[in-house]
């Protein structure tokens, strides 16, 4: 079964941090293909980045059975928006993501900062997009001084993990965090594989197993 993990960086992230993380290393050891989303607009708007992520995920969906997207900080908002737009995302992990916005961002000069502001029009718009969304694992760092725990939780069902003794950036380099994320992703992939097997075993076209084809 082919599995892909897509990494989306945060605001100001250089883009070369993910290969150094235990998340990426653990994913490769567990048989996941890793992909880095390089079409993110650093200065915004977030909607454009989300649309580009949809295109990337839908292309990966042609050759992979399971796709999990991991977004750090702002990257989690991009991933959540892509999921809301109907991208073929099976699971979503956000790490230190301001799902409730950030009170200082609304005063920023850049479009991306205003998008991330508390109760921004952007965040309200994403929340109002109808339709189902993939399961989400929300990770927050106990010592995160940029995105507090209260602002990191989305207004939809989610699995929550708080990591002690690390901050906003250090959390993606934490070994225990990587193990928890990959255990969650592996369990999701196994569930999807079992579901596909059930569909393969199900009778096709309304016929019962071993029944002869209908005649006219």
Q: What percent of the chain has pLDDT over 90?
A: 69
**Number of domains, the chain:** 1
Listed residue (207, 90, 84) closest to 156, CA to CA: 84
- Residue 209 in domain: no
**Cis, bond preceding 45 (omega within 30 deg of 0):** yes
Phi, psi dihedrals of residue 84, rounded to the nearest 5°: -65, -30
- Residue 206 in domain: no
The yes-or-no verdict on residue 186 having pLDDT over 50 is: yes
In terms of average pLDDT, the best of 35-49, 103-117, 153-167, 198-212 is 153-167
The yes-or-no verdict on residue 147 having pLDDT over 50 is: yes
The per-residue b/e assignment along 94-117, b for 16 or more CB within 10 angstroms, e otherwise, is: bbbbbbbbbeebeebeebbbbbbb
- Residue 142 in domain: yes
The yes-or-no verdict on residue 87 having pLDDT over 90 is: yes
Per-residue pLDDT band for 102 (boundaries 50, 70, 90) equals confident
- Residue 130 in domain: yes
Whole domain around residue 147: which residue ranges? 3-201
Phi, psi dihedrals of residue 51, rounded to the nearest 5°: -65, -40
The yes-or-no verdict on residue 202 having pLDDT over 80 is: no
- Residue 215 in domain: no
- Residue 211 in domain: no
Tokens for 205, please give them. Answer: 């076209």
Q: Indicate yes or no: pTM above 0.85.
A: yes
Question: What residues form DSSP beta bridges with 68?
Answer: 5, 91
Mean pLDDT of 19-35: 96
The domain that holds 157 is classified in CATH as: 3.40.50.1820
Neighbours of 118 (CB within 10 A): 14
- Residue 16 in domain: yes
- Residue 114 in domain: yes
Among the residue ranges 128-132, 146-150, 159-163, the one predicted with the least confidence is 146-150
Listed residue (179, 192, 168) closest to 17, CA to CA: 168
Per-residue pLDDT band for 55 (boundaries 50, 70, 90) equals very high
- Helix orientation angle between 175-201 and 22-29, rounded to the nearest 10 degrees: 40
């Amino acid at each position: 079964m082919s599995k892909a993990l897509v990494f989306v960086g945060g605001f100001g992230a250089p883009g070369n941090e993910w290969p150094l993380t235990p998340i990426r290393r653990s994913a490769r050891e567990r048989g996941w293909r890793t992909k880095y989303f390089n079409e993110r607009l650093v200065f915004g708007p977030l909607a454009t980045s989300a649309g580009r992520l949809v295109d990337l995920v839908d292309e990966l969906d042609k050759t992979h059975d399971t796709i999990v997207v991991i977004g750090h900080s702002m990257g989690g908002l991009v991933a959540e928006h892509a999921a809301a737009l109907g991208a073929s995302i099976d699971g979503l992990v956000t790490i230190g993501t301001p799902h409730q916005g950030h009170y200082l961002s609304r005063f920023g000069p850049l479009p991306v900062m205003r998008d991330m502001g508390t109760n921004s029009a952007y965040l309200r718009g994403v929340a109002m997009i109808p339709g189902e969304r993939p399961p989400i694992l929300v990770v927050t760092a106990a010592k995160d001084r940029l995105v507090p725990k209260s602002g990191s939780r989305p207004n939809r069902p989610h699995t929550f993990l708080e990591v002690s003794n690390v901050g906003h950036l250090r959390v993606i380099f934490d070994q225990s965090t990587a193990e928890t994320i990959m255990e969650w992703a592996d369990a999701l992939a196994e569930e999807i594989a079992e579901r596909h097997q059930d569909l393969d075993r199900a009778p096709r076209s309304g016929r019962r197993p071993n029944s002869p084809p209908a005649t006219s």
